[in-house]
Amino acid sequence: MKFKFSLDPVLKVRKHQEKIQKQKLAKQVAKKQKISELRNEVQGKLESYLNKSENEEAESIHMIRRHSAHMQQVHQRMEKLNKDMDKVDVEVVKEREKLATAHKKLHILEKVKEFEKDSFSSSVAKKEQKFMDEIATQSFSR
């Protein structure tokens, strides 16, 4: 006799759900990494620009206005990136929670499968022992 888990289709679905959830989490983490890299790049360019502008003297009012406009643009971009980072952080937390839930459901089913398999094995062992006892009894009575 071969063991067949009664909830095998459900187990396959749960494994698939966990796999999909892992992919979604990886996608959100990659998105977070990309935003972080962009933020670091903008920060580096800003620092470089500030160092360069400190060394130069303001030549005209036009240069000062251009410098001010550039600084304002960079700060707006940093604010947008920070907001995006906050949103992605929230999404990463949600996806981690969903993954934990999916993993928990899968783990529960695996435990049920293990319990059923142990129960099946002990049932088969009892039947085999009963059969062996009957054979021994029949051969002894002859």
Higher pLDDT: 58 or 82? It is 82
Residue 90 falls within a domain, yes or no? yes
Indicate the number of domains in the chain: 1
Residue 25 falls within a domain, yes or no? yes
Mean pLDDT of the chain: 90
Residue 110 falls within a domain, yes or no? no
Residue 139 falls within a domain, yes or no? no
Per-residue tokens: 114: 């293990």
Residue 131 falls within a domain, yes or no? no
Residue 119 falls within a domain, yes or no? no
Residue 19 falls within a domain, yes or no? yes
Higher pLDDT: 7 or 60? It is 7
Q: Which structural domain, as residue segments, surrounds residue 73?
A: 8-103
Compute CA distances 116 → 3, 53, 130, 131, whole Å: 9, 73, 21, 22
Give me the mean pLDDT over the 82-102 stretch: 96
Give me the mean pLDDT over the 113-123 stretch: 94
Contact 12, 19 (CB under 8 A): no
Q: Looking at the predicted structure, is the pLDDT value of residue 126 above 70?
A: yes
pLDDT at 142: 62
Whether this prediction's pTM lies above 0.85 is answered by: no
Compute CA distances 126 → 57, 119, 120, 122, 133, whole Å: 94, 11, 10, 6, 10
Residue 61 falls within a domain, yes or no? yes
List pLDDT tens digits, range 4-57. 988 999 999 999 999 999 999 999 999 999 999 999 999 998 888 878 776 666
Q: Give the model's confidence band at 58: pLDDT under 50 very low, under 70 low, under 90 confident, else very high.
A: low
